[in-house]
Structure 1
Amino acid sequence: MPPAEHQVHVSYGVARTGVPSAASFREWVNAALAGAKRRRQAELSIRIVDAAEGRELNRDYRGKDYATNVLSFPAELPPGVQLPLIGDLAICAPVVAREAVEQGKPPRHHWAHMTVHGVLHLLGYDHMVDAEAEAMEALETRILAKLGIADPY
């Protein structure tokens, strides 16, 4: 069976300096979907945000008044509606850049990690319970390894 054609829409709410291209985000999304064995077509949007927009989204949707690295908004389709839409990601450029420096990681690797992490959330993976966190982290590590990226943990 040929690989599914996934639709990844990327928009930038920040200057593009130091921010990966849409092609990179598509590569990372496809790797995450393949690693999670998502064979059907999937569609999602990624918005790259600044700290103000990231903080506003995190405050409005999670009740936390600070910008975080990635926010995942899984699609909530009405019963019976069959669309490939899996949801939206908001990735905060200044937070990802700061964390990469703090963690001593190449920025591109941290961008890839945050993208894979967010996509897995859209697919229902979570890390609120230790066992689920371990499974999610192991899957992220395997996906990133296939991209030539070291274990982020």
Structure 2
Amino acid sequence: MPFDVDIQIAVEDQVLPDEAAFQRWVNTALSGRLEQAEVCIRIVSPEESRELNLTWRGQDKPTNVLSFPFEAPPGIETHLIGDLAICAKVVAAEAEEQQKQLAAHWAHMVIHGVLHLIGFDHINDDDAEAMEALEVSLLAQLDISNPYLSA
């Protein structure tokens, strides 16, 4: 498998996707974009998410997914593209609030995070439109409807 996915679960009592689902979502996001890659996905508590979000983004609240791209120092060969920190409780709460299937929302968060790891962003409107269109297309490959349409 050209894409290695390392899953770290730092929470208890959460309904989580299985490893095969995470692998499928990473494969979908990276297929045709990279030949090889390694991604670490850490499933975190709201407390850890809040701490990371405050430290790295200056926002004092937990969030659904944080992306930490990795750039190897010169002369170091690695396929690691970065880490995702996904807050299971935030993802579950958002899915319920937005009336989305939990697995579909997880897929969206993983794909969204992985796209950030490979350079996609949504800082300005044009970039946001391009990233969202790609997410919708990738999710459609998984038979998941457009997450940006209101329920």
Instruction: Please report how far the alpha carbon of residue 102 of structure 1 lies from its aligned counterpart in structure 2 after TM superposition.
Output: 1.0
TM-score normalised to the size of structure 1? 0.93
Query: Which of 14, 17, 23 is 2:14 aligned to?
Result: 17
* Aligned amino acid, residue 28 of structure 1: W
Give 1:101's aligned residue: 96
Distance 2:71 2:48 in 1: 22
Instruction: Please report how far the alpha carbon of residue 17 of structure 1 lies from its aligned counterpart in structure 2 after TM superposition.
Output: 3.5
Are residues 1:71 and 2:63 paired?
no
**Deviating 4+ runs (over 4 angstroms):** none
Query: Which of 113, 123, 130 is 2:108 aligned to?
Result: 113
**How many residues matched?**
148
Query: Which of 30, 35, 38 is 1:33 aligned to?
Result: 30
Deviation string for 1:71-126 (max 9, x for gaps)? 00000211343311100000001110010011110010000000000000000000
Instruction: Please report how far the alpha carbon of residue 16 of structure 1 lies from its aligned counterpart in structure 2 after TM superposition.
Output: 5.2
TM-score normalised to the size of structure 2? 0.94
Deviation string for 1:35-63 (max 9, x for gaps)? xx223110010000010111111111111
CA contact (8 A) 2:39 2:81 kept: yes
> What runs of 5+ residues in structure 2 fail to find an aligned partner?
none
Give 2:124's aligned residue: 129
* Aligned amino acid, residue 130 of structure 1: D
| TM-align CA RMSD | 1.1
Distance 1:86 1:117 in 2: 14
Distance 1:32 1:63 in 2: 28
The percent of aligned pairs where both chains have the same amino acid is 56
